[in-house]
Structure formats: structure tokens, C-alpha cells
Chains A and B, each alone.
Chain A
């Protein structure tokens, strides 16, 4: 099956710093989503981005489908950005289920 690898596994930042999270996937995909899982366990949709670039406030994401990777940029990080960031993909064969990476655990210190 498709492999989804996220890096780094853990990241500690000082408030105000910038960071880049990476997601590599091993096969062609229909769909790619980035989520933030907050400390209460809720998965919050950040981006639906099977290809191209999107921006939402301090966050932006780029997916290069032909090279099978996606990047999530966090600028001017805040303590509320802490949590786990997941990348999830849906295979090109329309299997509809999302395959998740193991996540990047982010801690932003004040």
C-alpha cells in the first residue's frame, strides 16, 4: 500500500519562529489533506491540497504531486500552534479512505 512519511517527528520552537513540515508519499494521489490535532484530540482541517499552493493566514502549504511531496509552512508560530500535524492522502485508484502519516509533534514555547 501507499506509504506516507512525515518529518521531522518532533519539533520544538520558540514563539515567533518559522518552521517547515514535510510529507512524502510513495504513490500518485487524488487528495491530500493537512490536519492539526489539538491537545483535546480534535482533528482540524488546515488544507485540502492535492496540488499547488494555498495560504491561510500564517499557514501555507505546497504540494508537488509529480514529485510526491507536500510542505506545510508555519510562520510566526504561537503557543496555540502546539499539537500534532498530520498529512493524509487518498490513493489515485479512488479508494476514498485517507492514509495518514505518523505526524509531526510540535511544541511552541512562550
Chain B
């Protein structure tokens, strides 16, 4: 597709459930990022992949959060045993690589944990 796509767009989970959020980056983009956006705030970095390698996961808030990109394209962000504080919009972004550093964002997945 022409842009970054994410699914589902909305997810409601009961506390304690596991969820999986998917990101399809722009075709051919080497770098992929996950961000978390709380209500009324700017996005905050979670993790970064270059191809299939996860080079930085310093922003993941706990060990309940796990991300993968096994074939260097589609990525999945998994949250285990969801808590109410996990409620947020999860944004995925991709970047082409080389010296051109512009990031392009998907529409996000709004997660609500009840």
C-alpha cells in the first residue's frame, strides 16, 4: 500500500487479556518504530527495528510488552496481561533508510483496557 497501515484500529480488552497489534510499514522501508500516545500528550517512543533486528527496546514500559518483526516487514506489538494503564493509542511509523530520516505514521490502534 501507499502508506503505513495498522490493525485493528480499535481494540477493547478486559484487564488481564493478551492483545496483538499489527503494523504494515511502507513497502521497502527498512526502519520501523512503535510509539505510545496517551490522551492529550505527544507520542512516546517504545521500540525500533532495522529490518528484522530490534535495535532499541528502551521505551517498552514493562516486560509485558513484546515486539517482533521476524521477516523485516510486518511487525506485531504484543501486550500480555493488559492493565488499565496500557490504554492508549499505539502508533507505528516507518522510514526508508539511508540519509533520509523522515518518519511516516500509520493511523494507530486505540486500545481500551476495561
Q: How far is the CA of A97 from the CA of B70 in the complex (A)?
A: 21
Question: Contact partner of A103 among B42, B93, B107, CB < 8 A?
Answer: B42
Residue of B nearest to A103 (CB): B42
Nearest-neighbour CB distance to chain A for B67, whole angstroms, equals 14
Set of chain A residues within 8 Å of B59, measured between Cβ atoms: 97
Q: Are B89 and A33 in contact (CB under 8 A)?
A: no
Set of chain B residues within 8 Å of A41, measured between Cβ atoms: 89, 107-108, 110
B residues contacting A by CB (< 8 A) are 31, 33, 35, 41-45, 48, 56, 59, 89, 91, 93, 95, 101-105, 107-108, 110
Counting CB contacts under 8 A, is A7 at the interface?
no
Q: How far is the CA of A30 from the CA of B108 in the complex (A)?
A: 25
Q: A98-B45, A99-B45 are in contact. Are A30 and B101 (CB under 8 A)?
A: yes
Q: A100-B42, A102-B41, A103-B42 are in contact. Are A40 and B31 (CB under 8 A)?
A: no
Q: How far is the CA of A103 from the CA of B91 in the complex (A)?
A: 16
Counting CB contacts under 8 A, is A101 at the interface?
yes
Q: Are B104 and A45 in contact (CB under 8 A)?
A: yes
Nearest-neighbour CB distance to chain A for B100, whole angstroms, equals 8
Nearest-neighbour CB distance to chain A for B47, whole angstroms, equals 9
Q: How far is the CA of A29 from the CA of B35 in the complex (A)?
A: 19
Residue of A nearest to B107 (CB): A42
Q: Are A100 and B44 in contact (CB under 8 A)?
A: yes
Residue of B nearest to A42 (CB): B107
Set of chain A residues within 8 Å of B42, measured between Cβ atoms: 86, 88, 100-103
Q: Are A90 and B44 in contact (CB under 8 A)?
A: no
Set of chain A residues within 8 Å of B44, measured between Cβ atoms: 100
Q: How far is the CA of A43 from the CA of B91 in the complex (A)?
A: 9
Nearest-neighbour CB distance to chain B for A85, whole angstroms, equals 11
Set of chain A residues within 8 Å of B89, measured between Cβ atoms: 41
